[in-house]
Amino acid sequence: MGVIQHESKDNECVSWVNGIPSHTVSTSDRGLAYGDGVFETVRVNQSPVLLAEHLLRLARGLRVLSIPFDMSVLQREITDFLSQRQDGILKIIVTRGEGGRGYKGPDSPQPTRILSWHPLPVLADSYYEQGFSIYACDTRLSQNPLLAGIKHLNRLEQVLARNEWSGDEFQEGLLCDQYDNVVEAVSSNVWMARGGILMTPALNFSGVAGVMREWLLKQMPQLGIEVIIGEIQQTEIAGMDEFFLSNSIFGVVPVQQYAGREWTRGPIARMCQQAIQDQLF
C-alpha cells in the first residue's frame, strides 16, 4: 500500500479515504499512477466557504474525465468530516480508483474519495495592503482545451514553476503560455486593470478557473466594474494601472512588484477585498 501522510494532533487522524479514517491509498490507485482525478482546496471558517461552487467545479472535472461519481456520498462525508472542525483547509481528492498497469481505465471504476484537513495559512495584513512580489516564471503552460479550467491532479507544470524560486523574496509566480499570453499565477488567478476597466485572462486553452475568480466575476456588475475576459500579453503588464491575484484561500491580494514594475493597491482591488470580507470571510 502507498501512504499519504498528514500532520496529526493528539493522535487524531486528519484524513479519510472512502469515508473511513485512514492515511493510505492503494499503490494501484490511478490518481497516484497517472494523476487520473480532480481535487479542490476549500477554506473553512465556521463553515466551508463557497463549498457548493467547489463541488460544482469538481463535478465538472469528473464529467470531463468521464469518471462516474455519486456526489451525494461525498457531500455526506464532508458534512461528517467537518462536524468538529473549523478554521482550516479541507482538501478533497477524487480519483478514478484502482486499476491495473496501463493507461486504459477499468470498465467499471470505483472512484477513491480522499478528505484531508490542513492548517489555514496566516497571511500578514501587510500583504493585503502592500501586495505580493511576483516571480516571472520561465515554465510555460501547455494548451489543452479539453482540460482547461478544471482542477485535475496533473500539476507538474505548477510544480516546476514553483521550484524556480526559493526564499522569501517572492510570494507567487506568474505563468504564461508558449505564446507569452498571461494565464495565471502558480496558485491563483490574475486580474489587471487599465483605465478603470478590469481584465482577467481567458482560460479556454490552459489554466484553472478558480472558484474565487468565478465568484468575483459575478460580483463585478454590482460593484459597477466593467470586466473583459480575454488575451493579455506579457508585454502589456507594465502598462497596467492595477494588478492583483485571487484564490479561495487568501481571497484577493494586490501585486506590489513584477519584473521591475511596481504598483500600489488600487481601488478595484480594495472593492474586491471589501466584498469578500463582507460576504465570505
**Which residues does the annotation mark as catalytic?**
41, 151, 184
For 126-268, strand residue ranges (E) read: 132-141, 172-177, 182-185, 189-194, 197-201, 227-230, 242-247, 251-258, 261-262
Q: How many whole angstroms from its chain centre is CA 255?
A: 18
Q: Are 262 and 237 in contact (CB under 8 A)?
A: no
Q: What is residue 238's three-state secondary structure?
A: helix
Cα–Cα distance measured from residue 5 to residue 231, given in angstroms and rounded to the nearest whole number: 40
